[in-house]
Structure 1
Amino acid sequence: MNRDKILVPNKRIPFVSAIGILIFLLVLATATYAEEDPGLAALQQPDFLTSGLYGGGLTFIGTSPYIQLQAQPDIPLGKFDIGLDLVILYNPYATDTGTQFLAEDGELWDSPSTWLRLIRYISYARPYDPFHFRLGELDYLTIGHGSIMSGYSNYDRRGLRLNLRKSDNRSGVETVINDLGNPMIFGGRFFYRPFLRPENNNFLTRFELGATYLTDINPNPQEVGEDPLTALGVDAGFPIIERSTFRFDLYNDFAVLNTLPPKPEDMFEEPEEALEMESAEQEPTRRLESAPIGGEDATPAKEFAWGNAVGVGLTFTKAIFKLEYRVLGEEYIPSVFDYTYESAKSVVPESDMSDFPEFETSQEQQIRGFFSQFIWKPGPHFHFFGTFEDYNNSSPKLYMVVSESGLVPRFRVRALYTKRDIGAGDETNFFTDLFNLDEKSAFRLEVGYAVYPPVETIVTREYRFRRVETADGISQFEPIHKTSFMVGIRTDF
């Protein structure tokens, strides 16, 4: 199966429509609560997101040098927190003023998304408060248990996450929009605990039901005229034990994606002679892919593929462990909205090659495998987060983040690495591919040394993705290699 071919395209809706959809989701769950994994909430702390830096230095994007100036003020205003990320790249070799001063990844200041990137975040309250929202960078965003969206990050754009809860935790909602400047991915999850009592609850009364809807209205930038990628899910959970220092959960997630090709009997076939005649007479203007839905040349809609996950979660004061056993039907992609989702859908595959061969299954055979997650924070100076998944012992996926600050005096290290389809292909060695940076991976390493606190030198190496617009006006992502050498003052030292 080819993920790029099933991630189907472009029915752009205006910004106002996306906001309207978000408001509609919230109205359905007035005074509700979005239950969130506390381990994931910890990733939003400064240990994992750069903040509080004022300085300058030299940045290389590929082989092109730039002078970089950066300011990251954090402004607390009661329950509101505002963080800015003011970055300007100066190109001394530019021949015109339009390309002399650029944004953080060398892009022009010509889109709302670029200007919104100056806002690192605007947040209100905390995730467990009755009302919480975060506008800005979304780092490792997971909806529900993660069967549909797990580890999604919005790279160089600014999105919105909004949670509401009822004070007794009976019901809740969490919603997301990936990019306020150009919204493409949005949706949310609603949950309800029908038997919850004001006090003296047990695992039966804490029984939880959830429903998820997420969509990408432009999942295949290379094609025009097909339906959006739609994901629907239902889940049930039993928090068996809930204590202040320990939690034990059992849950089951069932999800469907419209990624299954139509059956042969549903395909519309025109007579061969008619096709040849029409091709000869109308070839310059004929575009089957953009025909109206339901019209004579309409492409049959994709059917829904399914996947199921049975999971157990253990939460301690300094560690979280999650293990899931997943059964995946034909053409189903688990956790389809992940860290590399944006880059994967922008890759144009070879006509005879599949990007995701491990998911090519038949109706008679499902793919089975495990998903695991481990979070460990033994103290304030060290934090580890990792996930690993593999199905039928082929092409696994890894995500790992490590943060260290203060274990070695004056040193601070952050590292992120993720890769999907490790070792895919018969001629690819697992360990060779594991450390090969390509379109299936993302990497960031940041090392800081406080020369004379709070003055700090910082070296950053990145391999990730940035959004670009092709000559045909198609928005897609491309790899970016970036190295920075900075000297500045850090206010959160």
Structure 2
Amino acid sequence: MKKLLYCTFLVLYTAFGTGFAQYAAGQMGYAGTEGGMLYGGLGVTMIDDETYFSISFRPEVAFGKLGVGLNINLLYNMESGGIRSKDWDSSYDYFRLIRYIRWGHKWDPVYARVGTLDAARLGHGFIVNYYTNEASYDERKIGLAFDVDMGNFGFETVTSNLGRAELIGGRAYYRPLYGMEIPIIKNFAVGASFARDFDPDVWSNSDDGVSVYGFDVELPVIKSQIFNTTLYADWAQIQGYSAIEDESRTFGSGEAVGIMASLGNLANMIDISAKLERRWLGKEFAASFFDPFYELQRYQVMSGDTLVKGFRKVDMLINAEETAGVFGELYGSLLGDKVRLLGMFTRLDDRKESGIMHIGADAPDAIPGVAAHAMYDKFGIETLGDAFSIDDRSIARVGLGYKIKPYLIIYMDYIWTYVETEPGSREYKTQERVEPKLVFSYQF
């Protein structure tokens, strides 16, 4: 169990440590501004044992409800002296310079997004939660998210790849009391969701799909322009093909109850959303099965397997024990979007040291001429006091940047990890690492 928690922690650290600005700037993909943002950077990368100097730009432009995101990524081969040809050997490579085109934002009466899906979600996220179809630059897909809310009923959809049947999901909901004009009660809704990855191994002649279906209810208790709270409950079931067992079967089910709250645009200083959820997860079940890491986990070739059966994410559920616990998240901004926040926490009942926490803040414009960000990650949490104790389960990062130009920032990242001075001593010494980087960031 500790090994699983440690691996989960490393994945969370890698994902949020390197991509925090993108998530926080877009409030996990659900909000935005009427302007635009240009992110970019310089770096060095290795591909197939060749060294490349990378130059990347990700401008995001919004005009009212219409938004366009671009992804310009140039890899310069430092040995041959040319741009990596594989990136530009077809007309499709030029077409995919467009990351996405969107209309509106999530939770608007009409929302549509075509292209890269950064944080797709259905309902309360118990089945599809912050899913992204961009596992890597070379494997980007053109996906679609399309939602409509007509008052008494509506739907949400997500499609990972318009080029072939891969992950397709949807949620339909109905507000049976909507026409009664009774405060609070009129917004009560019941919903049903279904999501299926039709072909995890991408071989068209195989039948190895995995499905998750579920039902939910929700009741927005307070609904205003500034403050909103919603009570909800979810149930879901997983069915799919196991390569290890070489059969398709029903896996486990799980339930959750929770509350979502948001404080929006208070005096143009605070815009924060939070969720606290109590989960009961049955045997062989995982909440948010289609999550930010699904594209990396959906199919992996097993080492030494001459038949190349592969390992599906659903195989990770085999013999998984029944669990219960608490899950929470926090995201938003302060000081008129000058400080962006992101936090996540999960802990299982009756599992010692099962807590995992991530806290991050990004302040690109809070201080003139200076940009800053900070992150703290901890796994193996047992008590509340344990969450902020410094030991070998902790990683801290602080980055300070000087703005050479309003759009060009030199960052110096300081990373702290901790190791025991002697095995079993419970005394720790600090290991420090410094990472310089150059970042482009321009708002218009």
Matched, 1:137 2:116: yes
Query: What residue number does 2:75 align with?
Result: 89
Q: Find the aligned partners of 2:379 and 2:248 in 1 and give their Cα distance.
A: 28
Q: Find the aligned partners of 1:223 and 1:399 in 2 and give their Cα distance.
A: 39
Q: Is 1:177–1:187's contact at 8 Å kept on the other side of the alignment?
A: yes
Residues matched between the structures, number: 374
After TM superposition, the structure 1 = structure 2 runs for residues 313-324 of structure 1, keeping only pairs within 5 Å, are 313-317=260-264, 318-324=271-277
Q: 232, 239, 251: which is aligned to 1:251?
A: 232
Unaligned runs of 5+ in 1: 4-37, 262-288, 290-297, 424-429, 437-443, 462-482
Structure ranking higher in strand proportion: 2
Structure 1 pair 323/119, CA: closer, same or farther in 2 (3 Å)? same
Query: What residue number does 1:406 align with?
Result: 365
Shift of 1:215: 1.1
Structure 1 pair 418/152, CA: closer, same or farther in 2 (3 Å)? farther
Q: Is 1:210–1:236's contact at 8 Å kept on the other side of the alignment?
A: yes
Shift of 1:332: 0.7
After TM superposition, the structure 1 = structure 2 runs for residues 341-490 of structure 1, keeping only pairs within 5 Å, are 341-347=294-300, 366-379=322-335, 380-392=337-349, 393=351, 395-396=354-355, 398=357, 401-413=360-372, 432=392, 435=395, 448-457=401-410, 485-486=437-438, 490=441
TM-score, scaled relative to structure 1: 0.62
Q: 273, 279, 292: which is aligned to 1:339?
A: 292
Structure 1 pair 320/69, CA: closer, same or farther in 2 (3 Å)? closer
Q: Find the aligned partners of 2:120 and 2:380 in 1 and give their Cα distance.
A: 21
Matched, 1:172 2:154: yes
Residue-by-residue CA offset, 1:30-62 (whole Å, 9 max, x unaligned) = xxxxxxxx9645565699xx94257x7453348
Bigger relative CO (Cα 8 Å, ≥ 6 apart)? 1
Q: Find the aligned partners of 1:165 and 1:226 in 2 and give their Cα distance.
A: 34
Query: What residue number does 2:255 align with?
Result: 308
Amino acid of the structure 2 residue aligned with 1:319: I
Query: What residue number does 2:385 align with?
Result: none
After TM superposition, the structure 1 = structure 2 runs for residues 288-303 of structure 1, keeping only pairs within 5 Å, are 300-303=247-250
Q: Find the aligned partners of 1:405 and 1:142 in 2 and give their Cα distance.
A: 27
Query: What residue number does 1:274 align with?
Result: none
Structure 1 pair 71/319, CA: closer, same or farther in 2 (3 Å)? closer
Q: Find the aligned partners of 2:398 and 2:162 in 1 and give their Cα distance.
A: 28
Q: Is 2:37–2:61's contact at 8 Å kept on the other side of the alignment?
A: no
Amino acid of the structure 2 residue aligned with 1:212: S
Q: Is 1:165–1:173's contact at 8 Å kept on the other side of the alignment?
A: yes
Shift of 1:460: 9.2
Shift of 1:336: 1.1
Residue-by-residue CA offset, 1:355-394 (whole Å, 9 max, x unaligned) = 99996658xx731111111224222211112222233336
Amino acid of the structure 2 residue aligned with 1:173: F
Q: Is 2:180–2:186's contact at 8 Å kept on the other side of the alignment?
A: no
Q: Find the aligned partners of 2:46 and 2:346 in 1 and give their Cα distance.
A: 32
TM-score, scaled relative to structure 2: 0.68
Q: Is 2:406–2:442's contact at 8 Å kept on the other side of the alignment?
A: no
Shift of 1:253: 0.2
Once superposed, what is the RMSD of the aligned Cα atoms?
Answer: 4.6
Amino acid of the structure 2 residue aligned with 1:344: Q
Shift of 1:433: 5.6
Residue-by-residue CA offset, 1:229-285 (whole Å, 9 max, x unaligned) = 101011011112223332222111010001597xxxxxxxxxxxxxxxxxxxxxxxx
Residue-by-residue CA offset, 1:307-357 (whole Å, 9 max, x unaligned) = 111112222233322211111111011111112222233455679x99999
Which of 1 and 2 has greater Rg? 1
Amino acid of the structure 1 residue aligned with 2:361: V
| 3-state SS in 1 of match to 2:362 | strand
After TM superposition, the structure 1 = structure 2 runs for residues 92-131 of structure 1, keeping only pairs within 5 Å, are 92-94=78-80, 100-102=82-84, 108-109=87-88, 115=94, 117-131=96-110
Q: Is 2:194–2:214's contact at 8 Å kept on the other side of the alignment?
A: yes
Amino acid of the structure 2 residue aligned with 1:368: A
Amino acid of the structure 1 residue aligned with 2:340: H
Matched, 1:59 2:15: no
Residue-by-residue CA offset, 1:444-489 (whole Å, 9 max, x unaligned) = 998653213344446799xxxxxxxxxxxxxxxxxxxxx995476x
Query: What residue number does 1:160 align with?
Result: 144
Q: Find the aligned partners of 1:260 and 1:58 in 2 and give their Cα distance.
A: 40
Q: Find the aligned partners of 1:334 and 1:304 in 2 and give their Cα distance.
A: 12
Q: Find the aligned partners of 2:275 and 2:84 in 1 and give their Cα distance.
A: 43
| 3-state SS in 2 of match to 1:450 | strand
